[in-house]
Amino acid sequence: MLAALFASGVAIAQSVDLSPMQAAALDLIIDEIKKASREGFATSDWSKMAEIYPEGTFECWNASGENHRYAFLSMEAIPEKAWYDVTPLPRGYVLDNLDASKMGATHILTIAYEQVLPSSCGLEMFRRWALRDFYLRLEDEWFQLVHPCPTREQIESKQIARTWPMIDRHYAARFADRLGAPQRTALRRLVKRDEFPLAALGLLQSRHGVNEQLGISILDEVCKRAE
């Protein structure tokens, strides 16, 4: 099913029945997210992503007075071919390390797309599904994006910029630089040994808290380097 969706490039909501107006609202939101993610990733300007949300959504993020540059919205670029699913927000849903008490979400929007490990690591056949969650509020027949807030502690201690680093097209190179030659060599050896990136991705996650989606880009940068 997913392979067929990617072949067609059509996004389809599966888990809830949508009216034509609700489906149109979702299509508009998803198109805007995809475009803003690609522009933000290329330019490091995530204000376009912020503009998709209703006015006032990020007042709580601005309360710390930091120059966060909307880095907490930054992500890898979402390709044009993507699949989505919309599900009702489960009762008692909790977000780690964020304050969702005033978010007012009614649904979760999950956007999925195929991610390929670039040929630099010699694993051209490796594929995985990358997933990204967004939160929606359904008002009458129209969906709109909503977003959680940072915690009071994060605001008062000005931790926003440190907690959410900027993700852009230069992120993987900067991260690979910080790893240093010994760690880069160890990662390349793991990939070569296993002919699969799972152990290397696990190492990035355990040591540096990097998720698989970002780990793919970092491994690509690591494998490009001869040292």
Domain ranges of the chain: 2-163, 171-224
pTM for the structure as a whole:
0.83
Q: What is the model's pLDDT at position 125?
A: 67
Q: What is the model's pLDDT at position 5?
A: 44
Strand order, beta sheet including 107-116: 83-88, 107-116, 127-139, 142-146
Q: What is the model's pLDDT at position 118?
A: 66
Q: What is the model's pLDDT at position 95?
A: 87
Q: What is the model's pLDDT at position 14?
A: 52
Q: What is the model's pLDDT at position 151?
A: 96
Q: What is the model's pLDDT at position 1?
A: 39
Q: Residues 169-206: pLDDT tens digits?
A: 899 999 999 999 999 999 999 998 988 888 999 999 99
Residues lower than pLDDT 70 in the chain: 1-15, 118, 124-125
